[in-house]
Amino acid sequence: MGTVDDYFATFDDPDRSAFERARALALEVAPEAQQGTSYGMAALRAGGRPLLGFRATKSHLSLVPFSAEVVEAVAPRLAEFDLTKGTIRFTADHVLPEDVLREIVRLRLQEISSSSG
């Protein structure tokens, strides 16, 4: 098991299922992504760089695309979610729309590929 698998295993459903759904959608867009850590959190990595981080608190789940620009780009489509500069908060009962999650990963992959030139 990798780092993301290990982290997800610490949760009960429905939180674990919500994170697994997010990871599955991310891997549809970035099948080459690998499990790892970044900034102390479980994360998918691509091209040696952090792609999407996963973090949970008692009150919410978070996806971290490691990019304020990516969060800003999708913010208009996530009006009903709590956003900070680099974090998107959601709950197992109110998950991110699939198309927006895929767009987050696409945008982050573009950043990674353009900066690794």
Cα–Cα distance measured from residue 38 to residue 73, given in angstroms and rounded to the nearest whole number: 22
Centroid of chain to Cα 35: 12
Q: Is the Cβ–Cβ distance between 35 and 112 less than 8 Å?
A: no
Average pLDDT over residues 109-113: 96
Report residue 116's pLDDT band, with 50, 70 and 90 as the boundaries.
low
Look at residue 69 and tell me whether its pLDDT is greater than 70: yes
List of residues 6+ apart from 71 with CB closer than 8 A: 65, 83, 84, 85, 86, 87, 88
The pLDDT of residue 1 is 54
Report residue 2's pLDDT band, with 50, 70 and 90 as the boundaries.
confident
pLDDT in tens, 74-95: 999 999 999 999 999 999 999 9
